[in-house]
Structure 1
Amino acid sequence: MFVRTSTPCGRPPPPLQRTPGPPPPLSAGDGKPISSLQCGLPDKLERCLERAAGLEQYLENLCSSDSCDYLQTLKMHLHGMIHICCVKVLKLLPKPSGSLMRAFLMAGHCYGSMDPVSNIIVNSIWDNSHGCPLPESERSKIEQYNDILDPLSLLRTQVHSLKGLVELAKFAILETAHGGFSTEGCALELLCSAGCDVFDRFPSSAGMFKEKKLFHEVAKAAGHPLPLQLGELHEMLMVAPEGQALLSLTSEAQIQCSVLRIEDMTNHISRMWRGWVAAKTGGVVQAPKLFPKSLMFVSSMRSKYEERRSWFRSKIEQVLKDYTTQHFWQYKLDIICGVEAINKGRPPLGEMCYRVNFTATSHLERERRLFFAEFLFSGGPRPETCCPLPYDYAGRCYYGEQTARKIVYPDDAKYIPHDITHPGTRRVDDMLEMDVVHFSSEMDVELAEKLNKMHAN
């Protein structure tokens, strides 16, 4: 991707740069690599930018609303960056329990006092162990519910993370602008240039964060379920020795591509969090008791999830076995990261095709590897595809309110017509499959109210 344009902040455009490109195209598939579509693109962009020179004020006025193509492009790029961070976390976590996956999907936002990947890890572990810990009885019920079948669940975390990052970036700009102002466009540009890591852009001390409750305000803007507590957590992390210890553990895992030491991280958070008592939050609000029909609905959703999870895992294990047989490299299925269903042909005669991202492990590699697989519901004569993805961001760059790409695709142009799927980001705040599957009868107040409203009659 090549980026250089006039900016809504009125600053001079940065020099033309090319983001790191993908490695050589995958051998799987018979389509043209997506990278081949970039032929001649730099020269075309140069000519376009020359014509745009001198129109900065005009472009600035255009970029003042959500309909601006430039701002939407920045958001698409940032959603892709955040997705990369989420995939990295899934590759670093030991195979998570259902409760840790619940915490990751509900509260694993990427803003905070560390780098984005470390923030997701710490926020998820904290929510699982201290922020919104499930009773042991409820943990055991969802222990095996750690596969993400509905990709909207992961997309929601990314959408809300971006909202928090934009708020944090605005604060950073205001702190360095010496009386200037900050717009959403300026914040998005800063996030793109900083790779979503803007915390180091703040010149102020930890006292400023505590005084202005910045992390609390950022978490509120992102719609985090526990904004006050998350703000307190990151204020503590900035000054407590446990904060540096946690950062060392996450950094070591990222550098060495090793599995995170979850127990050690939980112990560090526990020592730091002892001072925070329930009285500070006003106590925990008890979720209302579910109606009988609501209980039946939760039970039915969990049963359907288990059936689908079992079917998808058996199918993926088969295509992964075929792949390892052909390539003499043994892999074992780890976590399913998202499933997209696409009807190949016109209903009702069309065949349902599934495209899946999953991680797999090998005794010959320390790092989990991200895979893509494609197969038909009934098998059929059509060849099934299974291939590793050597770079996490391949083919995943479109996000809109109506449609979005929700999984990672190989670098193959044949997937372009079909990999933009419905619905888009506007649906992420609806009731999703993983919400019901991970439902807590004690903690999920809002969801319990929704379920009872659905089954009131």
Structure 2
Amino acid sequence: MSSGKGDGAGSSLRRVVTPERRYMPTPQQQDHDMSALLSTIQSSYAHACARLPVHHAGSICVGLLDPVSNIVANTLLSDEVAPVDDTELLARRSLDGLVAFLLYFFPSLADWDAVHHLLLADADLLVAVRLIVASRGMTVFSITSAASAKAFQPALRLAAQVAGHPQPEQLVRVWMSLSTRLHQAVDLLSATQPNLHDIQTLLTADDEPSAPDLEQTWSLAASRAAAYNTITNLLYPNTFTLMVVLLDTIRGFYLQALARLPTGELRTLYHQVIVNAGHCYGPMDPISNIILNTVWYDAAFPAAAAPPVLDMIGPHILTRIESRSMYGLISFLQSRYHHLSEHEIVQCLVAYRGDLSLAANEAMVTPCASVQEAYEAAATAAWHPNPEAQAAFLTSCKAKLQESPAAMALLQQDGNRVLSPEDVRYLAGVLLAEQKPSPQPVRKRSTWPVCDGKMRSMAEERRISRNVKATLNQHFLRDGEPMYKLHVICGANNSVCGPDYCTKEDNLSFAPCEYRYTHVNFLAVEKSGSSSSPVLFFAEFDNKKAEDESPVLCCKVDMPLPCAEHVRCLYCEVEGSKVVHPALEKFHGGDREFEEVIREEHSFTNDEIISYTKYALHRLCGHDEDFMYVNSSWSLAASRQAYHNIAAAPCHHTSSLMRVLLHAFRGFYLRALARLPAGELRNRYHQVIIKAGHCYGPMDPGSNIILNTVWYDAAFPAAARSPVLDMIGPHILTRIESRSMYGLISFMQSRYHHLSEHDILQCLVTHCGDMSLADPNLAANEAMVIKAEQQSPCASVQEAYEAAATAAWHPNPAAQAAFLTSCKTKLQESPAAMSLLVQDGDRVLSPEDVRYLADVLLAKQKPSPQPVRKKSTWLVSDGRMRSMAEQRRISRNVKATLNQHFLRDGKPTYSLHVICGANDSVCGSEYYCSKQEDYLSFAPCEYRYTHVNFLATEKEGCSSSPMLFFAEFDNEKDEGEPAVICCKVDMPLPFAEHVRCLYCEVEGAKVVHPALEKFHGGDKEFEEVIRGKHSLTNSRIICLNEYAVQRLYAHDEDFIRRGRWRCRGCPPGLPAQSGAQLANKIQDTQSNYSST
């Protein structure tokens, strides 16, 4: 977790906390733990052999007692006993079984973390469970709860299966039966010379099976764990798992707050406010804080236009406000108490269940910042629309409540009672006090293009709402009348099971794939008693059934307890959906799917599930569901990324300098793409350049891109062949440019601490993005060296390169830093390689050239192939299917244009080099009522045109340099139709003017447009914006552009490069696709780097 210190007056005391880059030990530490645990288990086998006859020396150590007793009991129980020589193999199998139990039982537990806890527990399974519970701060955990009991026996059975036990069911049955007589078993098994006959009799007793006594098991483990009371100090500080527990706790707070708000106001007003300003930090308990923040903000900053009436809180933005609240809580404490580490702060928040007032009292030291300063830091980290106003309000609101006992009573008394409309109006009046409301401004044009996200989110909201209402009207009846009425839908995941192949064809949809089920949480109130508290329900709906058909399952569930265990669902964990599931009912995504994951029979791995969970929970920025509110005065300005440093928000036109620099980078990348050989570029380098082809390094930016790409491809060859693509994904090409920019800034900031971000950007712009010129200590000329004597670097070149690589999300920062530090020396030792880069700068490199260059750059470094996973299959994701369809459409259109528009003697003049820029969202989106509604698609809306840049080479001269083209395609025409317009354009000059396009600026697409041709999005549209006659305003264009170019994390287009896959139900004639191991990419980026 990163925190920044402000530069301005007073702000130096504040800490704004954002998602961290990694919580894991090094590979060497992980290997050490694995070896040590194996040695411990082998030692247990040696002790067990001393208690058993030699010929009875082998079975797994999985069970409810200590490892030695488990081995003895399982050996006497098993009919198939391994010989003594198999002890090492048995130890390995036992280790796998123990790890399997823990991975099944606990969410977000990595393999290395399970191994480490087992090592600290000396391979005692139940002691390891207790250590994990303690390290996660799960103070309300109960081994006998419905959730724990549901998971315990399947986990034990899975452990036996993975460990290779011949009769897993029998092993579980015996241990569950023995759980009622464990004290007797302990006495017999712990003897130095145990009576094997008595033990065997106890194990094989045919008494009537009684209910398992897990409480006795847990208590005995506590007595064995007494020796490990201080062992948690030796744990790796896995802050992320603590955050998962804290976020699950915060979900419970939001469910209870939603249950207390009046139905009418919640579905007409508060549903919008709570997801933007209803944070759970403040001077009261978390639930009261959510209500206070929501009611106050709605009263203090009333919306200019009435929000839509919605039955459902957007599930993604509900998860997001919970994550934002968590970072607000952490930022408050870190601002007040600088001596506390991030891990200590999260531990404190978990211990006090997210109650800031209790957690702050625990610090017991003089605060470093005032309460208001800390609240402002919290509000900034939590993306509050008005941090200063919220800080002032939270600093004073408790005094206002204490002056009004009636208002305080509304929050504290009858904590489960639903507030009435009169209650919240009275509360708002008390909280507002003498503060005058500040209505949000009304824009000249409040309309907005009907965007994809809005249409899809609204269609999904309608579908789920109709399903829930039909369920309440048909399933829960009393005397033939519905018993319940809907309060609000407060959680959903429509991506359960799948996706499956389907025959739909729609450029704007996720076809040809769809998911099968939807999991939903909703609150409903009994109609008979208007004052009764809402009840929480879970439902599973079949996505293929009509909206008014019965659900697969619908039942009541308990409100989740803070810091307690919960029922797991594979698909909801992957999506980051905190849907509360039933413990006693079967649903899709439960036991069986997790068993398949751990046995490596599922397309997901445990690490991938954790990576997806991290990505979902750390995603603090905008989402499609935000567009449901675009007709109100909510502005995308609130969705801009929070800066790590509170004083580092763009000022002095820093953001303008960034845009200028990024436009220059597009030119560098276009020139680099033009120089790389077409075959290698479309076969291999398209994958490498977008994740490791950064433009920083010791040479000029264009050469650096080539160097980084060629070196990484040679040093870390892909385990599987990449797909052959004609197009570099436009969004991920923009992303590597943005990542490169942050890499450059980080390099300079690491070297020269006295320079501000603005100073660094000015320097980079002045020197055309060339780091070797911008850093005077890297330059060779004498004037620069003299200047450098007055500003000695604060870090070595290699340290600065590693900072750059980390900021730029490089897959292997340390390796890249070492390479860039030494590569110029290698080039200087090889004049031929240097001339390839420096001389004939526009000449296309041949395949032989790049192979020679790779050999020079690799020198004595041995290639490290990326690992091949045991299971290379993958769920065919929505994003992959949509991106591949778009790739094919644009490629066919470009090739048709080249084959029909540019002819010489009736034959095509040019051959495609690569497609290097695209924006399919030009003009629109428009509503088409003739389209069939599809909740998986972006219908019923679509855009009219696509703008494309591509490089093409003259066929007659194979050594000629590729030329840059611009084309505009009509999206309504068939694929393979030629362009509306297609013409050559000049390569963009760095830091020069460029032709503007409204729609490409909004999307952050850096498509190069022609100056002398007419295209959609040019002059006329900008005139309408400035005259206030367009649905977009100038400020919104800037905000949307900033959001697009600062999006550094994963995108749908990444899925194109995933390894070989085939979707379930995919026709045999449809070829499987091949690609790089995107799972590694996702895991690396989410585990190792910040998601913002």
TM-score for both structures, normalised by structure 1:
0.68
User: What are the Cα deviations for residues 38-89 of structure 1, in whole angstroms up to 9, with x where unaligned?
Assistant: xxxxxxxxxxxxxxxxxxxxxxxxx953232610110000000111000001
* Structure 2 residue corresponding to 1:386, chosen from 982, 1000, 1003: 982
C-alpha contact 2:883 2:1052 (8 A) present in aligned 1:
no
The 3 A distance-change label for structure 1 pair 84 and 351 is closer
The 3 A distance-change label for structure 1 pair 259 and 404 is same
Inter-partner Cα distance in structure 1 for 2:871 and 2:996:
39
The 3 A distance-change label for structure 1 pair 74 and 437 is same
User: What are the Cα deviations for residues 357-410 of structure 1, in whole angstroms up to 9, with x where unaligned?
Assistant: 111111466111111111112339998111111232533699999752332222
* Structure 1 residue corresponding to 2:812, chosen from 220, 226, 229: 226
Q: Which one is further off, 88-97 or 301-310?
A: 301-310
* Structure 2 residue corresponding to 1:106, chosen from 672, 691, 709: 691
Q: Which residue of structure 2 lines up, in the alignment, with residue 415 of structure 1? A: 1017
- The yes-or-no answer on 1:188 pairing with 2:761 is yes
- The yes-or-no answer on 1:316 pairing with 2:316 is no
Q: Which residue of structure 2 lines up, in the alignment, with residue 266 of structure 1? A: 851
* Structure 1 residue corresponding to 2:802, chosen from 216, 222, 230: 216
Inter-partner Cα distance in structure 2 for 1:397 and 1:163:
25
- Structure 1 residue identity aligned to 2:725: Y
Q: Which residue of structure 2 lines up, in the alignment, with residue 375 of structure 1? A: 969
Q: Which residue of structure 1 lines up, in the alignment, with residue 717 of structure 2? A: 133
Inter-partner Cα distance in structure 2 for 1:218 and 1:321:
43
Task: Kindly state the Cα deviation for residue 356 of structure 1 after the two structures are TM-superposed.
Answer: 1.0
C-alpha contact 1:253 1:260 (8 A) present in aligned 2:
no
Q: Which residue of structure 2 lines up, in the alignment, with residue 6 of structure 1? A: none
The 3 A distance-change label for structure 1 pair 129 and 190 is same
* Structure 2 residue corresponding to 1:94, chosen from 662, 677, 688: 677
Q: Which residue of structure 2 lines up, in the alignment, with residue 76 of structure 1? A: 659
Inter-partner Cα distance in structure 1 for 2:1052 and 2:829:
35
C-alpha contact 2:952 2:963 (8 A) present in aligned 1:
yes
Higher relative contact order (CA 8 A, sep 6+): 1
- Structure 2 residue identity aligned to 1:447: I
Structure exhibiting the larger radius of gyration computed from Cα positions: 2
Task: Kindly state the Cα deviation for residue 115 of structure 1 after the two structures are TM-superposed.
Answer: 0.6
Q: Which residue of structure 1 lines up, in the alignment, with residue 741 of structure 2? A: 162
Inter-partner Cα distance in structure 2 for 1:398 and 1:251:
37
- Structure 2 residue identity aligned to 1:110: C
The 3 A distance-change label for structure 1 pair 276 and 367 is closer
**Secondary structure, in 3 states, of the residue corresponding to 2:653?**
helix
Q: Which residue of structure 1 lines up, in the alignment, with residue 839 of structure 2? A: 252
The runs of 5 or more residues in structure 2 that have no matched partner are 1-645, 781-792, 930-941, 1023-1031, 1060-1074, 1087-1092
Q: Which residue of structure 1 lines up, in the alignment, with residue 1082 of structure 2? A: 447
**Secondary structure, in 3 states, of the residue corresponding to 1:297?**
coil
Task: Kindly state the Cα deviation for residue 181 of structure 1 after the two structures are TM-superposed.
Answer: 1.8
The 3 A distance-change label for structure 1 pair 160 and 215 is same
**Secondary structure, in 3 states, of the residue corresponding to 1:233?**
helix
Q: Which residue of structure 2 lines up, in the alignment, with residue 331 of structure 1? A: 910
The 3 A distance-change label for structure 1 pair 446 and 107 is closer
Inter-partner Cα distance in structure 2 for 1:103 and 1:191:
25
- The yes-or-no answer on 1:362 pairing with 2:362 is no
Report the aligned-residue RMSD. Answer: 4.0
Paired residue total: 367
* Structure 2 residue corresponding to 1:427, chosen from 1032, 1047, 1056: 1047
* Structure 1 residue corresponding to 2:650, chosen from 52, 67, 76: 67
Q: Which one is further off, 301-310 or 220-229?
A: 301-310
C-alpha contact 1:287 1:444 (8 A) present in aligned 2:
no
**Secondary structure, in 3 states, of the residue corresponding to 2:1054?**
helix
Task: Kindly state the Cα deviation for residue 314 of structure 1 after the two structures are TM-superposed.
Answer: 2.5
Inter-partner Cα distance in structure 2 for 1:321 and 1:168:
46
The 3 A distance-change label for structure 1 pair 182 and 442 is same
Inter-partner Cα distance in structure 1 for 2:677 and 2:978:
35
**Secondary structure, in 3 states, of the residue corresponding to 1:370?**
strand
Q: Which residue of structure 1 lines up, in the alignment, with residue 509 of structure 2? A: none
Task: Kindly state the Cα deviation for residue 441 of structure 1 after the two structures are TM-superposed.
Answer: 6.5
**Secondary structure, in 3 states, of the residue corresponding to 1:314?**
helix
Inter-partner Cα distance in structure 2 for 1:113 and 1:153:
24
The 3 A distance-change label for structure 1 pair 348 and 397 is closer
User: What are the Cα deviations for residues 189-236 of structure 1, in whole angstroms up to 9, with x where unaligned?
Assistant: 011110001314433699x98675332222223222111111111122
Q: Which residue of structure 1 lines up, in the alignment, with residue 21 of structure 2? A: none
C-alpha contact 1:354 1:377 (8 A) present in aligned 2:
yes
Inter-partner Cα distance in structure 2 for 1:359 and 1:383:
15
Q: Which residue of structure 2 lines up, in the alignment, with residue 115 of structure 1? A: 700
Inter-partner Cα distance in structure 2 for 1:382 and 1:360:
16
The runs of 5 or more residues in structure 1 that have no matched partner are 1-62, 175-179, 452-457
- Structure 2 residue identity aligned to 1:348: Y
The 3 A distance-change label for structure 1 pair 444 and 330 is same
The 3 A distance-change label for structure 1 pair 193 and 113 is same
User: What are the Cα deviations for residues 10-32 of structure 1, in whole angstroms up to 9, with x where unaligned?
Assistant: xxxxxxxxxxxxxxxxxxxxxxx
User: What are the Cα deviations for residues 406-450 of structure 1, in whole angstroms up to 9, with x where unaligned?
Assistant: 322222685343896776124341333134434567574252699
Q: Percent identity?
A: 22
* Correspondence list, 1:231-246, <5 A: 231-240=817-826, 241-242=828-829, 245-246=832-833
Task: Kindly state the Cα deviation for residue 247 of structure 1 after the two structures are TM-superposed.
Answer: 3.2
- Structure 2 residue identity aligned to 1:387: C
Inter-partner Cα distance in structure 1 for 2:756 and 2:998:
23
